[in-house]
Amino acid sequence: MSSQKIYSMTIYPKLILDALTTVRYPGTGKNIVEAGMVEDNIRIEGMKVSFSLIFEKPTDPFLKSIIKAAETAILTYVSKEVEIVGNISVKTIQQARPEPGKLLPEVKNVIAVSSGKGGVGKSTVSANLAVALAKMGYKVGLLDADIFGPSMPKMFQVEDARPYAETIDGRDLIIPIEKYGLKLLSIGLFVDPEQATLWRGGMASNALKQLIGDANWGELDYFLIDLPPGTSDIHLTIVQNLAVTGAIVVSTPQEVALADARKGINMFTNDKVNVPILGLVENMAWFTPAELPQNRYYLFGKEGAKKLAEEMNVPLLGQIPIVQSICEGGDNGMPVALDENTITGQAFNELAAKVVAQVKRRNREQAPTQIVEISK
Ligand code: ADP
């Protein structure tokens, strides 16, 4: 083709799109058109072309190279005479999740606490983290969704409480129990724990949806959900119905627990679920006897969860030792985080501070839609 002929050619959006299909996004291996990264706003005036590329975050490591590759593709496959006018506008978007707090419009952050295995201290960590956050002055809600072993009523000494319902704006809403400055509901307050394992998945999920959507949680800074161990329908119910800010995975340093924690992390980060990991908590990290406070005995192995966090590139949010008072605090309904003057209380308060920092970082990264003009 002579350059004169090129100059007289008509450029139309399909030509531009075809050229852009030659650009691959390294993260997915798909081309940028297929990956939905080219916005449907291609404008053409003579040889002048403008369009927008969509990235999930402004910090996308491939952003600049994709822009360059897009320009080169157009010049190569459409015409050298094409002038890409001004800038390519880059639109960064939030992940396609349900509207934040679709069910809970007044809740700022939803945190799922999970573990690969049972018995690693997930509920202990959830309860103490909730108490520590409330002590920091945040409005906190805690939902015990561990249908197979609801332990919050005992850990907060509210086993006999029966939450009542109130009609608010024409709807009957369950009023969460208030204890230690936070709001609490547990599936265990409604179901006889002996019967829980007989519940079919669908029944459990429905009950849970009610505890979320038909309860008067009101304004909350942090809504913590203590999930059942492993992976289940309950996990899906939660991620499908709530915009989960991030997940915390609790593990002991023991090999078998770590293998399941790894599976748990992968479940949250897979494409379909797509919940960011706020970090790992290493519980039962070591044992220190009261009479030998300097000594640490690594009963379940040393720093296993710390190493897993490094390997999977997720933050280690805290290491909690094995201490009798933690166990006793759970049994007598007085979580140790209530007293920050103890070593254990301090450990959970430090954990809470790290969680807050991670949530803030995540929220900054997922700032709402913004247009960033990139100069050529
Ligand atoms: P999960 O929710 O993972 O099943 P729990 O939180 O119910 O685990 O903890 C299991 C048992 O271990 C409980 O009796 C609890 O009090 C105890 N426990 C958990 N973490 C600690 C700890 N750091 N030190 C001492 N006991 C602990």
Instruction: Give residue-wise pLDDT tens across range 203-220.
Output: 778 888 888 988 999 999
State whether the beta carbon of 323 lies less than 6 angstroms from ligand 1.
yes
29 Cα to the center of ligand 1, angstroms:
43
Range of 23's domain? 13-92
Q: Given the CA of residue 149, which atom of ligand 1 is nearest to it?
A: 4
Q: Is the CB of 254 under 6 A from ligand 1?
A: no
- Are 36 and 65 part of one and the same domain? yes
Name which residue sits closest to atom 22 of ligand 1, judged by CA: 322
- Report how far ligand 1's centroid is from the alpha carbon of 327 (Å): 6
What is d(CA 106, CA 66) in angstroms, rounded to the nearest whole number?
Answer: 38
Q: Which residues contact 252 (CB under 8 A, 6 or more apart)?
A: 120, 121, 282, 283, 284, 285, 300, 304, 305
Residues 65 and 135 in one domain: no
- Does 100 reside within a domain? no
Last residue of a domain, one of 92, 123, 153: 92
**Residues 82 and 124 reside in one and the same domain:** no
Ligand 1: centre distance to CA 118 (Å): 9
Instruction: Provide the domain count of the chain.
Output: 2
Same domain, 71 and 134: no
- Name the token pair of 6: 């090129």
Domain boundary among 63, 92, 121: 92
pLDDT band at residue 100 using 50, 70 and 90 as cut-offs = very low
Ligand 1 centre distance from Cα of residue 155 (Å): 11
Out of 43, 59, 92, a domain closes at 92
Q: Is 277 inside any structural domain? A: yes
- Say yes or no: CB of residue 115 within 6 Å of ligand 1: yes
Q: Is residue 2 part of a domain?
A: no
pLDDT: which is higher, 233 or 304: 304
Q: Which atom of ligand 1 is nearest to the CA of 226?
A: 2
Residues 230 and 367 grouped into a single domain: yes
Examine the pLDDT at 347 and tell me if it is beyond 90: yes
Please report, as a single letter, which amino acid is at residue 134. Answer: A
Q: Is residue 139 part of a domain?
A: yes
Is 123 near ligand 1, meaning CB less than 6 Å away? yes
Q: How far is CA 265 from the centre of its chain?
A: 11
Asked if the structure places residue 55 within a domain, the reply is yes
Phi, psi of 120 (to 5 degrees): -90, -5
From atom 12 of ligand 1, which residue's Cα is the shortest distance away? Answer: 121
Whether 335 shows a pLDDT value over 90: the answer reads yes
CATH number of the domain residue 53 falls in: 3.30.300.130
Assess whether the C-beta atom of 259 lies below 6 angstroms from ligand 1: no
Which of 122, 250, 327 for a ligand 1 pocket mutation test, highest count of atoms within 8 Å of Cβ?
327
With a cut of 90, say whether residue 298 has pLDDT above it: yes
Which residue has the least CA distance to atom 9 on ligand 1? 121
Task: Determine whether the shortest distance from the Cβ of 133 to ligand 1 is under 6 A.
Answer: no
- Whether residue 330 sits in one domain with residue 262: yes
Structure confidence by residue, pLDDT tens digits, 167-196: 888 788 899 999 999 999 998 887 666 666
- Residue identifier of the C-alpha nearest atom 15 of ligand 1: 327
For ligand 1, is residue 127 a contact (CB within 6 Å)?
no
> Is 5 domain-assigned?
no
Same domain for 259 and 325, yes or no, is yes
| Residues whose CB is less than 8 angstroms from the CB of residue 164 and which lie 6 or more positions away in sequence, other chains included | 174, 175
Task: Pick the more confident residue, 336 or 196.
Answer: 336
Strands 220-226 and 140-144: parallel
Separation of CA 257 and ligand 1 centre (Å): 14
Q: List Cβ<8 Å contacts ≥24 apart for 203-207.
A: 204/147, 204/233, 204/234, 205/233, 205/234, 205/236, 205/237, 207/147
133, 136, 183: which is closest to 161 by C-alpha?
Answer: 183
% of the chain beyond a pLDDT of 70: 88
**Same domain (yes/no): 88, 171:** no
Average pLDDT on 349-371 reads 84
User: Quick one: 61 and 159 in the same domain?
Assistant: no
CA 59/CA 13 separation, integer angstroms: 28
Summary mean pLDDT of the chain: 85
Which residue is closest in CA terms to ligand 1's atom 14? 327
Is 160 found in the same domain as 34? no
> What is the rounded average pLDDT of the residues 66-85?
88
Is 283 touching ligand 1 by the criterion CB < 6 Å?
yes
Task: Output the pLDDT for position 371.
Answer: 59
Helix, strand, coil share (%) of the chain residues, nearest 5:
35, 25, 40
- Tell me if 225 is assigned to some domain: yes
Residues 79 and 127 in one domain: no
Residue 3 lies in a domain: no
- Highest mean predicted confidence (pLDDT) among 44-58, 91-105, 300-314, 362-376: 300-314
**Same domain, residue pair 45 and 170:** no
CATH code at 339? 3.40.50.300
